[in-house]
Structure 1
C-alpha cells in the first residue's frame, strides 16, 4: 500500500501485488475505489498474476482537492504508477468509466501493453453521436452533478441499486452505495468527461487483444456499447454476462473464468 506523489502536487493511492507473471492493472468505475476489485485481486494473485489497483484522484484514499479531475488526468496517474513500480508488461482492465481511463493509459503505455479489458465500459463512447446510436445524451451526463448536489444520499442510493442487475443481493447494492457516498465532493467533474468522450480512433488503433465484457441487464452502460467496442477493436472479443453493471461482483466465478481465459491467451 502506498501513495504516489503526482506531478501536479497531489497523492494517489495504489496497491501493488508483485508476481513473476504479468501484471493486471485494475481501474475502478466512477465514484468507487480499488477495494471493489478485491475478489478479482485475490483470484489473480492466486493464479500467479501481479496486480495494481489505483484509487482515482477524487475517490477512495486518494486526495480530493486536485485542480484537474479529468479522465485524462486519471489516465496519466495510471501511466505514471505503472512506470513507477517498474513493471514491463501489463494488461489493463477498466470497469465502467475506468475503461475510458484504461484506453487512454494503454495508448500512452504503448508496447508495455499485452492486452486490454473493458468491463461494462464507457468506451469508446458513452453518449450518442454520429455513427454511434447507443447510450444516453450528453445532457444526461452533465445533469448528474446537479442531481448529486440536490440530494446526494438519495441519488447514490438509487445508483447503488441500479449498478447491479435484478436478483443481486441487497448487501452488494449497499456496498456500492457506500462507495459512491465516499467519493469526493467534486468527483462528478471526472464523470463530465463522458459527455463528449470519443475513443473510437484510439481503440481501433490497438494491435493487442481486447476483451469487452458486457452485462445483459446493465442499466448504467447500454449493453450495446460493449458489442460496439468489440467490433471497433482490431482484435476484439465480446463476452456478455447475465448480470448488471458489476459482473465482477455479481458473478465473480463466471467473470473470473472469462478474465483468466483472456489472460492466458493475451499475456
Structure 2
C-alpha cells in the first residue's frame, strides 16, 4: 500500500494515497467525515481523460494514521505539501471538496502557488461556515455546537443520520441508494473519533476570508443551490467575490454531496476547467 510517512509536525503521521494514470497531476482532497473513496465517481473519468490522479486520506480518516492532535488547517495542509514534495509533483491542480477546500486555500497561504497551476473548490466550506454579524447567512453557532455535542456524546448515532442531509436523501428517490448511505456510514464510523471531532472544530471555526486573496491561480468554484450542509451564500458566493481569477457554477437542485448526485455535471465542469 502506498503511504507517505513524515515527521514534520508534533507527531509522525502516515498518509495513505492512491496514484493513478499519467499526465498533469490532479490531487483530490476529500470532505468530512469520509475518505478518498468519496471521489470514486471522479477518479475513473479523470484518469481516462489523461490525467494523473492522486487521492489521499486526510490524517485520522480512511487508512491514514490517527494521531491524537494537530487537526488545524495548517497541520492538515502540511500533509498535502509533503505529499506533493514526496511525489515531486509540478503543475498541480488542487481539488477540494467541502472541508477539503480549506486545505486548498491554506496551501496558498502557507506555501504560495509553487507547484500549483489550478484550484477547484467543490461544495466547499470556504470561506466561513459559522454565522457572524458580518456573515448572516452562515450556520448558527447553536447548530454547530449541537453537532459537536452530538459527536462527543453519540458519534455513531450522529453519523448514521448525517448523510441523509448530506444528499438531501429521500427513500426511493433516484440518485442515492440506501447502500450509498450504508457505505458512507461505514467509512465515517471507522474514522478516528478524536479526528472526527477536531476536524469538525476546524471546519466549523476557521475563517478563511482574509486568505482568499492568496489564491492566485485560476480557480473553479462549484456548489449546489440546495446544499443544506454548507449554504452557498456563505461559501461559494463569497469565495467567488474574494478569489480574483475564478469560474463559478451554481448547480440547480444539487445538495452538498453533488459529487455523487450530480456526478456527470460535476465531471463535465471539472474536465472543461482542467482542459482550458
Instruction: Please give the TM-score of this superposition, normalised by the length of structure 2.
Output: 0.89
> Which segment is superposed worse, 104-113 or 180-189?
104-113
Describe the SS at the equivalent of 2:28. strand
Identify the residue that residue 262 of structure 2 maps to in structure 1.
Answer: 251
Shift of 1:69: 2.1
Is this contact kept in 2: 1:207–1:234, CA < 8 A?
A: yes
Correspondence for 1:226 among 236, 243, 247: 236
Matched, 1:14 2:17: yes
Task: Give the Cα–Cα distance (whole angstroms) in 2 for the partners of residues 249 and 37 of structure 1.
Answer: 9
Describe the SS at the equivalent of 1:60. coil
Shift of 1:87: 1.0
Is this contact kept in 1: 2:112–2:214, CA < 8 A?
A: no
Q: Assess, with a 3 A threshold, how the Cα gap between structure 1 residues 112 and 138 changes in structure 2: closer, same or farther.
A: farther
Shift of 1:178: 2.1
Task: Give the Cα–Cα distance (whole angstroms) in 2 for the partners of residues 205 and 57 of structure 1.
Answer: 24
Shift of 1:127: 1.0
Identify the residue that residue 71 of structure 1 maps to in structure 2.
Answer: 73
Structure 2 unpaired stretches of 5+: none
Identify the residue that residue 209 of structure 2 maps to in structure 1.
Answer: 200
Shift of 1:23: 0.8
Q: Assess, with a 3 A threshold, how the Cα gap between structure 1 residues 139 and 84 changes in structure 2: closer, same or farther.
A: farther
Shift of 1:226: 1.2
Is this contact kept in 2: 1:164–1:173, CA < 8 A?
A: no
Describe the SS at the equivalent of 1:91. strand
Q: Assess, with a 3 A threshold, how the Cα gap between structure 1 residues 153 and 205 changes in structure 2: closer, same or farther.
A: closer
> Which segment is superposed worse, 68-77 or 169-178?
169-178
Identify the residue that residue 112 of structure 1 maps to in structure 2.
Answer: 115
Task: Give the Cα–Cα distance (whole angstroms) in 1 for the partners of residues 137 and 185 of structure 2.
Answer: 26
Is this contact kept in 2: 1:28–1:96, CA < 8 A?
A: yes
Identify the residue that residue 272 of structure 2 maps to in structure 1.
Answer: 261
Q: Assess, with a 3 A threshold, how the Cα gap between structure 1 residues 41 and 109 changes in structure 2: closer, same or farther.
A: farther
Identify the residue that residue 192 of structure 2 maps to in structure 1.
Answer: 184
Task: Give the Cα–Cα distance (whole angstroms) in 1 for the partners of residues 102 and 141 of structure 2.
Answer: 16
Shift of 1:165: 2.8
Q: Deviations over 1:71-94 (max 9, x none)?
A: 221111011101110111111111
Task: Give the Cα–Cα distance (whole angstroms) in 1 for the partners of residues 160 and 132 of structure 2.
Answer: 30
Task: Number of aligned residue pairs: give it.
Answer: 264
Shift of 1:130: 4.6
RMSD in angstroms over aligned alpha carbons? 1.7
Correspondence for 2:82 among 42, 66, 80: 80
Identify the residue that residue 223 of structure 2 maps to in structure 1.
Answer: 214
Matched, 1:240 2:250: yes
Query: Map of 1:87-166 to 2, 5 A cutoff?
Result: 87-107=89-109, 108-166=111-169
Task: Give the Cα–Cα distance (whole angstroms) in 2 for the partners of residues 175 and 250 of structure 1.
Answer: 15
Shift of 1:139: 4.6
Q: Deviations over 1:161-218 (max 9, x none)?
A: 1110354423323322222212111121011012331212221232211111111221
Shift of 1:142: 4.1
